[in-house]
Chain A
């Protein structure tokens, strides 16, 4: 079974530039997550999709971050403009879940390491 695919693996940009990350979840997984992991910290949820609808984006800095999930499959996360404090690993995860199912687990991609200089 193919895992969660993310690209690019690494990205270096200057502050105030824009950047986009792409995620292809495991086939059939209804739920997709984007996490931000700053060095030395645990992953922090940015946004959670159920199919192509947003379930939770309470911690997404909406003035600069945006995300979409195309046709309930692939997803892109964009930062515009980037700040120095956005330097982190951006992890995408997916899980096979539908409303009412009791148990699931999230499968993670390898992440995109963003450095803002």
Chain B
């Protein structure tokens, strides 16, 4: 069965520092992978997605993620965090064929000024 694990419930970084949010997935075939961000009281906004091809994916707001099949991971990175990046981040895996999305439990990011 598909599953997504986000090991870090909370992460705190200083503004300007680099960021890496971890995501591990379990899926039998090549997955479709997504990172979404959710600000308080808002819906989910897509940051980036991986379907195939280049394993390093660029997204909006300066985010990138790397698909590593051998590690079943799809970690999200940003070289320099801004205070406005404080939000909750969700990794999701989509099943080919059914297009069913499974979300992780999320990582809440706090940014210190």
In the bound complex, CA of A109 to CA of B49 (Å): 18
Contacts of A60 in B (CB 8 A): none
Minimum CB–CB distance from A20 to chain B (whole Å) comes to: 19
Q: Which of A80-114 contact B (CB under 8 A)?
A: 91, 93, 95, 97, 102-111
Chain A residues with Cβ under 8 A from B6's Cβ? 42
Partner of A44 from B36, B41, B42, B103 at Cβ < 8 Å: B103
Q: Once the chains are docked, how many angstroms separate the CA of A109 from the CA of B46? A: 12
- Check A110 against B98 for contact (C-beta < 8 Å): no
The contact of B44 among A56, A103, A108, by CB within 8 Å, is A108
Contact status B103-A104, CB under 8 Å = no
A79 → chain B closest CB, angstroms: 20
Q: Which A residues between 22 and 59 are near B, CB-CB below 8 angstroms?
A: 31, 33, 35, 40-45, 48, 55-56
Alpha-carbon distance between A31 and B102 when the two chains are bound, in angstroms: 15
Q: How many residues of B contact A (CB 8 A)?
A: 26
On whether the beta carbons of B100 and A48 are closer than 8 Å, the reply is yes
Task: Identify the B interface with A (CB < 8 A).
Answer: 4, 6, 32, 34, 36, 41-46, 49, 51-52, 90, 94, 96, 98-106
Distance, CA A47 to CA B18, complexed state (A): 37
What is the minimal beta-carbon distance from A65 to any residue of chain B, in angstroms? 18
Q: What 3 A-B pairs come out closest when comparing CB atoms?
A: A42-B103, A108-B43, A103-B51
Residue from A40, A45, A102 within 8 A of B102 (CB atoms):
A45
How far apart sit A95 and B101, CA to CA, in the bound complex (Å)? 11
Measured in the bound complex, the distance between the Cα atoms of B94 and A106 in whole Å is: 10
Question: Which residues does chain A contribute within 8 Å of B51, judged by CB atoms?
Answer: 102-103
Q: Which residue of A lies closest to B45 (CB)?
A: A108
State the Cβ distance, B113 to closest chain A Cβ, in Å.
Answer: 25
Given A105-B34, A105-B49, A43 and B96 touching (CB < 8 A)?
Answer: no
